[in-house]
Amino acid sequence: MDVITDPQVFDGGYLPRRLEHRNAELKTLLRRWEAVTWDDEAEHVLIHGPSGVGKTVLTRIALRRLERRATVDRAHVRCLGLSTAGVLRSTLQGLGESPDETTPTEDLAVQLRERVDRPTIVVLDEADDLPSTDALSRLTEIPDLSVAPICHDHEEFLASVSKHVRERLQTGQLPLNRYGVDELADILDARARAGLSGSWTRSHLEAIANESAGRARRAIQSLRAAAEISEERGTSLPDIPVDDAYERAMGRVRRANLKSLPFHHHVLYELIRDAGKISSGELYDRYELVADDVYRGQPTPPLGEKARRNKLVKLDEYELIDCAENRHDTNVVLDERVASDVVKPARLLAQ
DNA sequence: TATCCACCGGAATTTATGGAAG
DNA sequence: CTTCCATAAATTCCGGTGGATA
């Protein structure tokens, strides 16, 4: 029998009907934004907190609420890896325009200014690197446009942003903290009711919650993994070890992360995975050794040393490796069971 | 504990790529 | 088709860093 009756409930984009244990935050956010429903400008908001505590969902639910009252012009932009032009372009796309790949930054800013003819909310998700671009300056100087950057470390964020932007953002901060075990268990209970059949117990949900370090995303993915394991083994859900579920959930995230990366990252990842742990110098040598073979027939040539270092940082961000901090440190694979399906490990080993 | 030096990471520069215009 | 001009990605350059070595 299917334990999972509605897989959508465990998708990243799933929006629960109601948001558990975030009432105060939701209220605050709605108050900052609600002016748009009577055609006034919304306030800027800086949303911050650890990953997986509901920052993105909060903005989505708040916007959904506002849209029930009035038509709202808004965009949700995933900023990770985007340049100034990239952010402006994505914002325009979110507002229904379609600027092409090579329109100059200046032109994009002008287009955006023309497009924003009434109060507009722009959520800037994954905004941690945004201060290194001047997208925030460009956006905040547009009349009627309110930004809502979402980041992890607000102090670091505000410190590296221009004075003009800082003045606008620091009064409107909205922190989200980790959930308590009880609160997480409530969240899991709601998901279980919506997406699972069969039985689960409060104590089982609490056990999963306890492993999740206060992060709802982890907890939810662990619950989903537990349900899958339960289907495969034919064991009832509460009998699935929490460790197994957590392992599987992490593995899935890592595999998805790796899959989303280009060829170069796969080559480096497989070299590190093959070694388990490896110094930067050794990694450099091995790459040189296999590069000609591995890249034969590839559209892109092997990378130089600096570019490789940048790829390692990305692999680190994606929780696939621990990247070396200095020249005596080592690069370590985090889960050697997570393999690339693009680069064959055997080809790397055959010198 | 002083010196060494391979490697890190930011900045400047070059190369690749793709629409737009002639 | 060629030229132009934009971004994005890669390379080059270089000062700083911190564990290793004596």
Find the Å distance, CA of residue A344 to C1' of nucleotide C3.
Answer: 42
- pLDDT recorded at residue A306: 97
- Return per-residue pLDDT of chain A as tens, 351 residues: 688 999 999 998 999 999 999 999 999 999 999 999 999 999 999 999 999 999 999 999 999 999 999 999 999 999 988 999 999 999 999 999 988 888 999 999 999 999 999 999 999 999 998 988 889 999 999 999 999 999 999 988 998 888 889 999 989 999 999 999 999 999 999 999 999 987 889 999 999 999 999 999 999 999 999 999 999 998 889 899 999 999 999 999 999 999 999 999 999 999 999 999 999 999 999 999 999 999 988 889 999 999 999 999 999 999 999 999 899 999 999 999 999 999 988 777 765
Reported in sequence order, the residue ranges of chain A that DSSP labels E, i.e. its strands, are 46-48, 73-78, 120-125, 145-151, 173-175, 277-279, 321-322, 330-333
Strand B contact with A280 (CB < 7 A): yes
Spatial contact of A322 and A331, defined as CB atoms under 8 Å apart: yes
- pLDDT recorded at residue A102: 85
Strand B contact with A98 (CB < 7 A): no
| Nearest alpha-carbon partner for A48 in A31, A29, A35 | A29
- pLDDT recorded at residue A100: 85
Find the Å distance, CA of residue A303 to C1' of nucleotide C1.
Answer: 32
Residues sharing a CB contact under 8 Å with residue A288, sequence separation 6 or more, in sequence order: none
Find the nucleotide nearest A89 (Cα to C1′): C7
Strand partners, A196: A4
Which tokens sit at A157? 């964020």
Spatial contact of A351 and A290, defined as CB atoms under 8 Å apart: yes
Find the Å distance, CA of residue A99 to C1' of nucleotide C14.
Answer: 38
Find the Å distance, CA of residue A300 to C1' of nucleotide B7.
Answer: 26
- pLDDT recorded at residue A268: 96
Burial class (CB in 10 A: 0-12, 13-18, 19+), A177: exposed
DSSP string of A146-167? EEEEEES-HHHHHHTS-HHHHH
Spatial contact of A42 and A146, defined as CB atoms under 8 Å apart: yes
Phi, psi of A279 (to 5 degrees): -75, 160
Strand B contact with A284 (CB < 7 A): yes
Residue nearest to nucleotide C20 (CA to C1'): A328
A227-233 long-range contacts, CB within 8 A, separation 24+: A227/A3, A227/A4, A227/A196, A228/A3, A228/A4, A230/A3, A230/A198, A231/A2, A231/A3, A231/A4
- pLDDT recorded at residue A351: 55
Find the Å distance, CA of residue A278 to C1' of nucleotide C22.
Answer: 26
Query: Protein footprint on strand C: which nucleotides are under 7 Å from a CB?
Result: 5-13, 17-20
This prediction has a pTM of 0.91
Find the Å distance, CA of residue A310 to C1' of nucleotide B5.
Answer: 22
Find the Å distance, CA of residue A326 to C1' of nucleotide C20.
Answer: 13
Q: Is the dihedral of CA A18, A22, A28, A32 positive or negative?
A: negative
Tens of pLDDT, residue by residue over A8-51, are 999 989 999 999 999 999 999 999 999 999 999 999 999 999 99
Spatial contact of A77 and A122, defined as CB atoms under 8 Å apart: yes
- pLDDT recorded at residue A345: 81
Residue nearest to nucleotide B16 (CA to C1'): A300
Find the Å distance, CA of residue A293 to C1' of nucleotide B17.
Answer: 26
Tens of pLDDT, residue by residue over A280-309, are 999 999 999 999 999 988 889 999 999 999
Find the nucleotide nearest A310 (Cα to C1′): B9
Cα of A38 vs its chain's centroid, Å: 32
Would you tell me which residues have their CB within 7 A of strand C? A 81-86, 89, 102-106, 264, 300-301, 303-307, 310, 326-328
Find the nucleotide nearest A305 (Cα to C1′): C11
* 3-state SS record for A213-269: CCCHHHHHHHHHHHHHHHHHHCCCHHHCCHHHHHHHHHHHHHHHHHHCCCHHHHHHH
Strand partners, A48: A151, A175
Spatial contact of A263 and A270, defined as CB atoms under 8 Å apart: no
Helix (H, G, I), strand (E, B) or coil at A45: coil
Tokens 């034969």 — which residue?
Answer: A296
Strand B contact with A281 (CB < 7 A): yes
Which amino acid is residue A126, in one-letter code?
E
Find the Å distance, CA of residue A302 to C1' of nucleotide B16.
Answer: 15
Find the Å distance, CA of residue A40 to C1' of nucleotide B16.
Answer: 45
Which tokens sit at A153? 């470390």
